[in-house]
Amino acid sequence: MQSNGTDEMYAAGREAMVRDQLVGRGITDQLVLEAMRKVPRERFVPEFERAFAYADGPLPIGAGQTISQPYIVALMTEALQLKGGERVLEIGTGSGYAAAILAEIAGEVFTVERVRELADRAAETLRDQGYVNAHVRHEDGTLGWAERAPYEGIVVTAGGPKVPESLRQQLAVGGRLVMPVGTSPSYQTLVKVVRSSEDRFDSTNLGEVRFVALVGKEGWREGNAGL
């Protein structure tokens, strides 16, 4: 158990993160801000990294993967334009932190992670934190989670050469998909895709980003990703 003083320190860190890193950079969605205030990020990073849980940057979580910078998590979640109660798909569970943020807003979150040790650890952390509406699968994320489709929101937390067709088809009409896309496994453009009809997808550029590579059948191959 953590002491009350430690809990208060983390709570203060969360509030400062929301004020300085999120509101200070233009995040305005109150559902997103409230979720970011509530989810204990320190529980989703290795114990030796907890002192840096609310720092303005990504942190290593093992298996060559990272937990994204808080601002990026907030930006991608805000871009989904969730109102509450939606069915959301996340590709790249990592530590489970972004899934917890989504689970604070959405009705159900289905999250897919290709690295088994991360999937197992994230499922345990999400369960321990009471997120019974977040479901974790160890699988090739580029193929999505077809049997639970369609999704009002899809967020991909790794960069691929293009939006996988499987994910496009699992997006509900009117739904939104947010993903880093680029010709390099290391540098991408964050894009927002809106499915406006069965066969029409409209894309918006949200800025330059840098994510780990999206590896899988409809993403980068192991060798091409430099892994």
Which are the contacts of 216, defined by CB distance < 8 A and separation ≥ 6? 114, 140, 141, 142, 143, 164
Establish if 33 belongs to a structural domain: no
Per-residue pLDDT, 64 = 84
**pLDDT by residue (tens digit) across 36-86?**
999 999 999 999 999 999 999 999 998 888 899 999 999 999 999 999 999
Establish if 36 belongs to a structural domain: no
Kindly state the tokens that stand for 76: 């991608």
Distance, in Å, from the CA atom of 28 to the CA atom of 138, rounded to the nearest integer, reads 33
80 and 101 in contact (C-beta within 8 Å)? no
Distance, in Å, from the CA atom of 179 to the CA atom of 53, rounded to the nearest integer, reads 24
Q: Which of 114, 121, 100 is nearest to 40 (CA)?
A: 100
Establish if 132 belongs to a structural domain: yes
Per-residue pLDDT, 227 = 47
**pLDDT by residue (tens digit) across 91-116?**
999 999 999 999 999 999 999 999 99
Establish if 48 belongs to a structural domain: no
Q: Return the SS3 of 125.
A: helix
| Chain CA centroid to CA 118, Å | 14
Indicate which CATH number applies to the domain containing 108. 3.40.50.150
Establish if 139 belongs to a structural domain: yes
How many domains is the chain partitioned into structurally?
1
**CA atoms within a 13 Å half-sphere pointing along the CA-CB vector of 155:** 28
> Which of 26-30, 45-49, 185-189 is most confident?
26-30
Beta bridge partners of 135: 110
Q: Enumerate the active-site residues.
A: 68
